[in-house]
Amino acid sequence: MRPISVQVRGLLNREEIERYNDLWEVGKFLEGAGKFDLARTIQREIDLLAEPAVEKLMRYENRTGHATVVAAPVIIDNRKKDDAK
């Protein structure tokens, strides 16, 4: 079984998360029992469940026209100050 990423799981609603968790448990059980053909069917169901969230995440990450915010570097000088100057 292939899990979906944390980012994708974060975009699922409560019912979808519960369905994903249930499908995941069934899929792992089937793999443990050696029923890989049935586990493959469960994996397809998980992929279909995650597909809208994956597309939403891709749209979010590929936004254009938004400036990337980059903070100015912070320089920390821990050297002793010379009072003689």
> Would 72 be classed as within a structural domain?
no
- Measured CA to CA, the distance from residue 79 to residue 73 in angstroms comes to 18
> Would 67 be classed as within a structural domain?
no
Domain that holds residue 17: 6-61
> Would 85 be classed as within a structural domain?
no
> Would 35 be classed as within a structural domain?
yes
Phi (first) and psi of residue 36, to 5 degrees: -70, -30
> Would 70 be classed as within a structural domain?
no
What is the per-residue pLDDT for 79?
Answer: 77
> Would 16 be classed as within a structural domain?
yes
- Measured CA to CA, the distance from residue 20 to residue 39 in angstroms comes to 14
**pLDDT higher than threshold 80 for residue 83:** no
What is the per-residue pLDDT for 82?
Answer: 72
**pLDDT higher than threshold 70 for residue 71:** no
**pLDDT higher than threshold 60 for residue 69:** no
Closest by CA position to 30, among listed 20, 39, 42: 39
> Would 78 be classed as within a structural domain?
no
pLDDT tens across 26-58, in order? 999 999 999 999 999 999 999 999 999 999 888
Count structural domains, the chain. 1
